[in-house]
Amino acid sequence: MISPLAYIHPEAKIGNNCEIGPFCYIDRNVEIGDNNTLMNSVTVLYGSRIGNGNTFFPGAVIGAIPQDLKFVGEESTAEIGDNNKIRENVTINRGTAAKGRTVVGSGNLLMEGVHVAHDAIVGNQCIIGNGTKLAGETIIDDKAILSAHVLLHQFCRVGSYVMVGGGTRSSQDILPFSMIARDPAAFCGLNMVGLKRRGFDRETIDNIHRTYQIILQGTGLLKDLLEQVEREIPQSEERDYILDFIRSSKRGFIR
């Protein structure tokens, strides 16, 4: 299951039933779990931590040092969970002193040419399209979909159940449950198709819609609009998630 043309550092830890193709390079201080497939020419560098059942396509580079001039060789990791598909030429850099680790969760699909920069966090069951670039310390919440060639500015956060249109550039946070597209990026309504596919019922979708009507179409201070949502929209996990997301936003959010 391990090609004689692959290089594996003697200190690397490799789990059971892994397939490692020709011309792969696995550095020291690397831990790879069980049932992983590394096709040819995959590079796994110092500080990488990989779970179980992942598939890495040719040209993927995991754990390269950050593209950040503040990085001075500090110990950090690039951590990948379970059952991800990491397609051709994906690059996932390890962390810096800022957070110490870059994290990709479980059940994700990262398509060809995706870049995940230092200290970024990608949740679970996300789809990230060809050529999309996530800058340092970005956060992608669970079940988000980013289409091809999306550019996400440093420190931005993307909410769960989002659909971001191809070629979108964002320097602000992207609200949960929303569709974002156009140039400049704009809120285009709820991700109705995605919410229905994920089993959201009509009442929940209506309450999310009413929440955003108050926040995005109301007048007055944002603080007062959020308090109006708390008064008028029944308490739910989705309502509270939206309110917490907005209150914790450091870059503002796309409207």
Per-residue pLDDT reduced to its tens digit, 156-175: 999 999 999 999 999 999 99
Looking at the fold, whether 126 and 213 belong to one and the same domain comes out as no
Average pLDDT score over the chain: 97
* 91-143 residue pLDDT tens: 999 999 999 999 999 999 999 999 999 999 999 999 999 999 999 999 999 99
* pLDDT on residue 4: 98
Same domain, 124 and 35: yes
Instruction: Please report whether residue 56 resides in a domain.
Output: yes
CATH of the domain at 202: 1.20.1180.10
Q: Using one digit for the tens of pLDDT, what is the confidence trace for 194-237?
A: 999 999 999 999 999 999 999 999 999 999 999 999 999 999 99
Percent of the chain with pLDDT over 70: 100
As for how many domains the chain has, the answer is 2
For residue 180, which phi and psi values (nearest 5 degrees)?
A: -125, 130
Cα dihedral 188/130/109/161 (nearest 10): -10
Q: What percent of the chain has pLDDT over 90?
A: 99
In this structure, the answer to whether residues 55 and 134 fall within a common structural domain is yes
What is the C-alpha R_g of the chain? Answer: 20
**Shared-domain flag, residues 104 and 202:** no
Residue 70 lies in a domain: yes
Q: Which two tokens stand for residue 240?
A: 């509270």
Identify the pLDDT of residue 233.
98
- Residues β-bridged to residue 187: 180
pLDDT (0 to 100) of residue 188: 97
In a domain, 61, yes or no: yes
Q: What is the pLDDT of residues 98-108, one digit of tens each?
A: 999 999 999 99
153 in a structural domain? no
Banded model confidence at residue 185, pLDDT cuts 50, 70, 90: very high
Cα 125–chain centre separation:
9
In a domain, 224, yes or no: yes
Is 204 found in the same domain as 131? no
Maximum distance among all Cα pairs of the chain, rounded to whole angstroms: 67
Token look-up 């090609």 returns: 3
Contact 190, 183 (CB under 8 A): no
49 found inside a domain:
yes
Range 151-157 average pLDDT: 98
Residue 136 shares a structural domain with residue 199:
no
Q: What is the pLDDT of residue 248?
A: 97
Are 35 and 107 part of one and the same domain?
A: yes
Q: What DSSP state is assigned to residue 173?
A: B
Domain-located, residue 158: no
Rounded Cα distance between 109 and 174, Å, is: 20
The one-letter amino acid code at 111 reads: M
pLDDT score of 51: 98
**Domain span holding position 131:** 7-140
Together in a domain, 12 and 126: yes
Confidence of residue 41 (pLDDT cuts 50, 70, 90): very high
| Final residue belonging to a domain, choices 96, 111, 140 | 140
Quick one: 118 and 20 in the same domain? Answer: yes
Closest CA to 118 of 148, 141, 97, 145: 97
β-pairing, 151-152 vs 85-86, is: unpaired
Q: What is the CATH number of the domain that holds 47?
A: 2.160.10.10
By annotation, the residues acting in catalysis are 118-119, 136
Task: Flag whether 180 is in a domain.
Answer: no
Tell me the whole-structure pTM to 2 decimals.
Answer: 0.96
Q: Which residues pair with 38 in a beta bridge?
A: 20, 56
Clarify whether residues 132 and 200 are in a common domain: no
212 and 133 in a common domain: no
Secondary structure of residue 58 in the 3-state scheme? coil
Using CA atoms, how far apart are residues 13 and 200, in angstroms rounded to an integer? Answer: 42
